Structure 1
Amino acid sequence: MVERFKDICSVEELDRLFEFTEDRPIILFKHSNACGTSAYIQEKLSGLDAVIHRVIVQRHRDVSDEIARRTQTIHHTPQVIILRSNKLIYSASHYSISSDDIAAHLGTDRGTDEQDIFNTKSDNLTI
């Protein structure tokens, strides 16, 4: 069974994710543990057949800020961003986040596989 949410805890992990957008899309989810709306959206996202890379903003605001800088988006929580080839292909926040829209942007490619990114022999990152 695929673990649905993979927490991104450092800018180095984010760097590694961005490298893999050349091959397939990545889904980034900025989540706030203190927000009921964010909890609701997380529940909706858990039904997707895709790996979702989550940043818990209370713990890793630096990663959240780096995502905003690289994608040239305004920070929101909850917020979903999909990247392919290092380009923003989807961004939505709060109740504009749509599982159907996310699935449509992914097509048949269901996002990154944790083993591809974090378990390669040359990679020292661990989650």
Structure 2
Amino acid sequence: MNWTSLVEESQLENIREESQQHPVLIFKHSTRCSISSASLARLERNWKESDVAGTVPYYLDLIANRTVSAKVAATFDIPHQSPQILLISRGECIYDASHFDINFAEIQQQLSGIEA
């Protein structure tokens, strides 16, 4: 996976704009949590660029970037969880999952429902 680091609140407006062209995935990771590490490893192991229709993945270390994490929750009107993925399309969060509900097959299914 080729992660883009999410480290500044100002990136969220860019993500909204970027999601007008193609889906964006945000992975909120707690470096202190074994469940978060397991979810991240499983996602990275199963991620196939050819199966995600140009989706751009962003990685947010929420321990190092707590204010950015809070802004993600507020911007996309999604309660904070950790670990958590958000799938952004056309400026809105269309899917989120946390903990062991994070899985590549479900992400693929959600992506297949996005109209080009």
Q: Smaller-chain TM-score range?
A: 0.7 to 0.9
Please provide the CA RMSD for this pair.
1.7
Equivalent residue pairs, number: 107
Q: Distance in 2 between matches of 1:18 and 1:81?
A: 12
- Contact 2:15 2:24 (C-alpha < 8 Å) held by counterparts: yes
- Contact 1:30 1:57 (C-alpha < 8 Å) held by counterparts: yes
Q: Distance in 1 between matches of 2:43 and 2:57?
A: 8
Q: Which amino acid aligns with 2:110?
A: H
Query: What pairs with 1:25-36 in structure 2 (closer than 5 Å)?
Result: 25-36=23-34
The match for 2:17 among 16, 19, 26 is 19
Partner SS, residue 10 of structure 1: coil
**TM-score of the superposed pair, with normalisation by structure 2:** 0.84
The match for 1:58 among 51, 55, 63 is 63
**Aligned residues: percent identity?**
25
Partner of 2:53: none
The match for 1:74 among 69, 75, 79 is 79
Partner SS, residue 93 of structure 2: strand
Partner of 1:125: none
- Contact 1:48 1:103 (C-alpha < 8 Å) held by counterparts: no
Q: Which amino acid aligns with 1:15?
A: E
Q: Distance in 2 between matches of 1:98 and 1:45?
A: 6
Query: What pairs with 1:45-124 in structure 2 (closer than 5 Å)?
Result: 45-46=43-44, 47-50=46-49, 51-107=56-112
Unpaired runs of 5+ residues, structure 2, are 50-55
**TM-score of the superposed pair, with normalisation by structure 1:** 0.77
Cα deviation code 1:17-57 (max 9, x no counterpart): 11111111100010000000000011111131244201101
What displacement does 1:58 show?
0.8
Unpaired runs of 5+ residues, structure 1, are 110-127
Q: Which amino acid aligns with 1:17?
A: I
